[in-house]
């Protein structure tokens, strides 16, 4: 598949071919990728953030290069208090167009009806992800009218992300990863260059961030994948392999 060019007309990418978009994005810098995508796709775009350990870099890039893109924050109701405060800080500092989506069912009701689903084996964990993450994200895509999702996933974060392309189709939604090829050193440099605040728990040994019940700080020899879901998996339920039947709309 021939790569698209910076001056490619929108009609040429209306079909959103993942291979062509990946080939176009690969040689560009992250900011160029965002400007290109916003210039071509505009209102079809939505970004997401978890306000995790390294989220400020992707959010700053959006602020600089595609500030009108809405940023969806899925609030499961089980995030660390520090994450909520960090979200307030970054939203104000970067003037984000933040759209907060929450489950249709409260945390109290989940526990009253089903107990601690996240600790009830694979079936319980899957139900928890569907209720608190997948359904709200599907709703966000539908309400915002978006079919192209920008995410800050990086290949170096985990083995499950090592082989991802810059763009991949997942049911009706095209997912694009503008900083997919960034290594830790590049990310750290970006934080220092732009004087971005770190997540408050970064200094307490947390390598990744999620719900308080499924995230723990790293030990002396821990990898990021070992700090989520007791090491059984890394992905929270949103960033699944292409073709997962319940996601997306």
Q: What does the alpha-carbon distance between residue 21 and residue 139 come to, in Å, rounded to a whole number?
A: 26
Percent of the chain with pLDDT over 70: 80
User: Strands across the sheet with 45-49, in order?
Assistant: 98-101, 71-74, 45-49, 148-150, 173-176, 167-170
Active site amino acids: 236
Neighbouring C-beta atoms of residue 246, cutoff 10 Å: 13
Q: Does position 219 have pLDDT exceeding 80, yes or no?
A: no
Query: Which domains are delineated in the chain?
Result: 13-231 (3.40.50.620)
Percent of the chain with pLDDT over 90: 67
**Buried residues in 100-134 as b, exposed as e (16+ CB within 10 A):** ebebeeeeeebeeeeeebbeeeeeebeebbbbbbb
pTM of the model: 0.84
Asked if the model's pLDDT at residue 183 lies above 60, the reply is: yes
Instruction: Tell me how far apart the alpha carbons of residues 2 and 114 are, in angstroms, rounded to a whole number.
Output: 51
Of residues 3 and 163, more confidently modeled: 163
């Amino acid at each position: 598949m021939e790569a698209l060019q910076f001056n490619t007309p929108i009609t040429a990418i209306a079909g959103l071919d993942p291979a062509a978009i990946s080939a176009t994005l690969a040689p560009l810098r992250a900011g160029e990728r965002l400007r290109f995508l916003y210039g071509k796709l505009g209102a079809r775009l939505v970004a997401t953030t978890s306000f995790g350990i390294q989220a400020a870099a992707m959010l700053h890039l959006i602020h600089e290069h595609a500030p009108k893109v809405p940023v969806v924050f899925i609030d499961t109701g089980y995030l660390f208090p520090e994450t909520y405060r960090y979200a307030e800080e970054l939203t104000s500092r970067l003037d984000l167009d933040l759209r907060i989506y929450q489950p249709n069912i409260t945390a109290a009701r989940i526990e009253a009806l089903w107990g601690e689903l996240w600790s009830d084996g694979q079936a319980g964990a899957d139900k928890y992800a569907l209720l608190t993450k997948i359904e709200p994200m599907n709703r966000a895509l539908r309400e915002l009218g978006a079919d192209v999702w920008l995410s800050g996933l990086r290949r170096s974060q985990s083995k499950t992300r090592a082989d991802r392309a810059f763009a991949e189709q997942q049911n009706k939604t095209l997912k694009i990863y503008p900083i997919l090829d960034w290594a830790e050193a590049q990310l750290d440099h970006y934080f220092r260059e732009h004087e971005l605040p770190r997540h408050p728990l970064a200094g307490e040994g947390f390598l990744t961030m999620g719900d308080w019940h499924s995230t723990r700080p790293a030990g002396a020899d821990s990898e990021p994948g070992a700090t989520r879901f007791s090491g059984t998996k890394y992905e929270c339920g949103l960033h699944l392999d292409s073709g997962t039947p319940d996601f997306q709309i």
